[in-house]
Structure 1
Amino acid sequence: MMAGSRIAIVWNPSKTSREDLERALPASAADAEVSWHETSPDDPGQGAAGEALAAGAAVVVAAGGDGTVRAVAERLAQDDAAELAIVPLGTGNLLARNLGVPINDLRGALTRAFEGPSRALDLGWITTEVDGAATRQAFAVLAGIGIDAHMIVETDDDLKSKVGWLAYVESLGRALRATEVVQMAIALDGATPEQAEGHTLIVGNCGTLQGGIALLPDADPSDGELDLLLLSAEGIGQWLDTLRSFIWDNGIRRLFSRHERAESADTATHARVGRVSVELSEPRVLEVDGDDLGETSSFTVEVQPAAVRVR
């Protein structure tokens, strides 16, 4: 870090304190100009990141959960003036996990922010209408409908604060019961819409979940594409087929084969896209990087390649 470089720290006060962050700053922070910007319930990070850019920050550190990181990245993607760094303090910390940022290590993550190299990071942008209001939001990890969205809705907040991401496991059974197959029309990269059905549709920029689960085995956050997964399994037999697809076809067997792309199965369809438009026959809850946006009947997702540089 060059002397006099400006670094802004955007932190979520519900996740940490400025004092804890200050104590964890690396020695190299002494050579930088550090400014502090606090998020609020009304501003999860976009406004604070805008303040940081206005102050001339070369790097903006997002200290919080996936929602804080998403909000800061969304703002930086609209202004190519600063790099993003992450101090993961949330339940999932999915972007940090996919990028190899230290988890549960304030000093390690802050050292990356002040001293680490940077790489290009794609973002996805989702356009939809919720409760009669049009919205366009960015995501760094995953967006979609179905099991993942229901897990977020069904997860107990008190349990999540006590046991972290394991709270999502507790909610999985209720999420499965709440998830029903829906008819949909899917248009990939501007092609004619095709009819399909499924209970879960995920479009992702990153593919690895907690516990090292590779939900989207082809996903690369810097390849200029998004990865799509459509699940349609119903009943034990079909779910076993889905598990076989993940564990064997796109897991163990792939380690010893030359398959460059994830293989689809009868109950699990994989694709890589730059843009996808979805029309649902019935409204479904839409999830974006762990946030429940509400119910929608249609949405469009497109990639912004190399939207930000991240340390």
Structure 2
Amino acid sequence: MRIAIVWNPAKTERDPLETALADVLDGKPAEVRWFETTEEDPGRGAAQAALAGEPDLLVVAGGDGTVRAVAEYLADSAADVELAILPLGTGNLLARNLDVPIEDVPAAFRQALDGEARPVDVGWVELTTDAGRERHGFVVMLGFGLDAQMIVETDEDLKERAGWLAYVESLGRALSGSDVVSFGLTVDDGHPQTVAGHTLLIGNCGALQGGVKLLPEADPGDGELDYLVLSAEGVAQWLGTVKKMVWDDGVKRLIGRGEQDADSESVRRGRASVVAVTLPEPRLLEVDGEELGQAREFTVTVQPAAMRVR
């Protein structure tokens, strides 16, 4: 078997990965090649170099940003290779949604070598920023509002020490920077509509850390995207929103007592293949946990079964 591994040296050293892989292979023959990411190239170039060797399996070892960059290249190039994830980041959201072992490198390697591949969609967003017209892929979710503000407000040193809990610490500051606005929303071939909210999330996956399911019906392989508009203001509405997301869409579903998704006063959900957004003023966008830049208009589409992931 020819295995190509794209790894992020900011997340781990190579030696522990080599040791874990050797233990899992247990003497089985394999040709392994390693491709390191850099700050300038978070994964696309490394993935391109890795695929030039025509591997049987491509493994991406890193956080959500590294996974997104590699997935973006695979989808864009229509590469015929199966992908496996070695989650080494803060959120590891695609890995969580695909039931890849977290914080257990040997177990993740075992799934990489022996797991069955499943089709996974890739979302695309086209937008205009100060740098010009851009197109970016994503595998988890993108949006503006609370999610993007939390990324901006999160202390990077705390993120290194506390992991995803650092985002919770930034929540208060993010809330103060997210005000409700009216914006244009066009879904698939429907008529443009005006909605009000401080947060819009468009997701390929729905589960976050801690069992929170922002998009309970989201399936990364169903050929559609799910979206969420939040408009909660004041303590009462926020308490209701938290109850719906954590209890109604989380705990109750886990124990089999949850009902089908329903909108509430401050939570609106939907599904689509194309979502076009027009804002009254530029807003900061995030994509898979990374700041993308400010945009006033953007369009999101889905590429069904863009890659196969073990």
Confirm whether residue 34 of structure 1 aligns to residue 35 of structure 2. no
Are the structure 2 counterparts of residues 55 and 251 from structure 1 closer, same or farther at C-alpha, using a change threshold of 3 Å?
closer
Q: CA deviation at 1:183?
A: 1.7
Following superposition of structure 1 onto structure 2, how do residues 1-311 of structure 1 map, counting pairs within 5 Å?
5-25=1-21, 26-27=24-25, 30-77=28-75, 78-247=77-246, 249-251=248-250, 255-256=256-257, 259=260, 262-311=261-310
One-letter amino acid of the counterpart of residue 256, structure 1: R
Q: 1:290 is matched by which residue type in structure 2?
A: G
Native 8 Å contact 1:206 1:220 kept in 2: yes
Distance in structure 2 (CA, Å) of the matches to 1:159 and 1:153: 13
Give the Å deviation of 1:244.
3.7
Identity across aligned pairs (percent)? 55
- Cα gap change, 1:29/1:182 in structure 2, threshold over 3 Å: closer, same or farther? farther
The code of the aligned residue for 2:233 comes to E
Q: Mean Cα displacement is larger for which, 72-81 or 235-244?
A: 235-244
Hey, which bits of structure 1, 4+ residues long, moved more than 4 A? 251-254
- Within 2, Cα distance between the matches of 1:181 and 1:28? 56
Distance in 2 of aligned mates of 1:88 and 1:269 = 31
Q: Deviations over 1:182-216 (max 9, x none)?
A: 22100000222101111000000111110010111
Query: Is residue 183–residue 198 contact of structure 1 (8 Å, CA) maintained in 2?
Result: yes
Any idea what SS the aligned residue of 1:31 has? coil
Which amino acid letter does the alignment assign opposite residue 23 of structure 1? T
Deviation at 1:303, TM superposition (A): 0.8
The answer to whether the Cα contact below 8 Å between 2:78 and 2:306 also exists between their aligned partners in 1 is: no
For the residue of structure 1 that corresponds to 2:170, the secondary structure is helix
For the residues of structure 2 that align with 1:243 and 1:12, how far apart are their CA atoms? Answer: 35
Find the residue that maps to 2:34 and give its secondary structure.
strand
| Letter of the 1:17 counterpart | E
The amino acid across from 2:297 in the alignment is S
Greater mean deviation of Cα atoms: 42-51 or 24-33 = 24-33
Is the alpha carbon distance of 1:202 and 1:257 closer, same or farther for their aligned partners in structure 2, counting shifts above 3 Å?
closer
Distance 2:42 2:145 in 1: 25
Give the Cα–Cα distance (whole angstroms) in 1 for the partners of residues 276 and 133 of structure 2. Answer: 15
Counterparts of 2:163 and 2:251 in 1: how far apart (Å)?
29
Question: How far off its partner does 1:253 sit?
Answer: 6.0
Distance in 1 separating the partners of 2:185 and 2:295: 15
Alpha-carbon distance change, 198 to 29 in structure 1, aligned in 2, over 3 angstroms: farther
20-29 vs 54-63, which moves further? 20-29
TM-score, scaled to structure 2: 0.94
The CA deviation at 1:258 is 5.9
CA distance in 2, matches of 1:248, 1:21: 38
Conservation of the 8 A alpha-carbon contact between 2:63 and 2:91? yes
Shift of 1:271: 0.1
Which runs of 5 or more residues in structure 2 are unaligned? Answer: none
Q: How far, CA to CA, are the matches of 1:243 and 1:14 in structure 2? A: 34
Q: Deviations over 1:216-256 (max 9, x none)?
A: 11011111111000001111122123234334554566633
How far apart, CA to CA, are the structure 2 residues paired with 1:291 and 1:283?
17
User: In 2, Cα distance between the equivalents of 1:7 and 1:292?
Assistant: 31
Q: More displaced, 275-284 or 79-88?
A: 79-88
Partner Cα separation in structure 2 for residue 20 and residue 283 of structure 1: 44
TM-score of the aligned structures, taking structure 1 as reference length? 0.94
Following the alignment from structure 1 to structure 2, what is the Cα–Cα distance between the partners of residues 87 and 29? 21
Matches of 2:115 and 2:252 in 1, distance apart?
Answer: 35
What SS does structure 2 have at the residue aligned with 1:24? helix
Contact 2:232–2:238 (Cα < 8 Å) also in 1 = yes
Aligned equivalents of 1:251 and 1:178: distance in 2? 27
Report if aligned partners of 1:182, 1:282 keep a CA contact under 8 Å in 2. no
Note the aligned Cα RMSD (angstroms): 1.5
What is the one-letter code of the residue matched to 1:45?
G
SS at 1:95 equivalent: helix
Q: What is the identity, as a one-letter code, of the residue corresponding to 1:76? A: L
AA of the residue aligned to 2:9? P
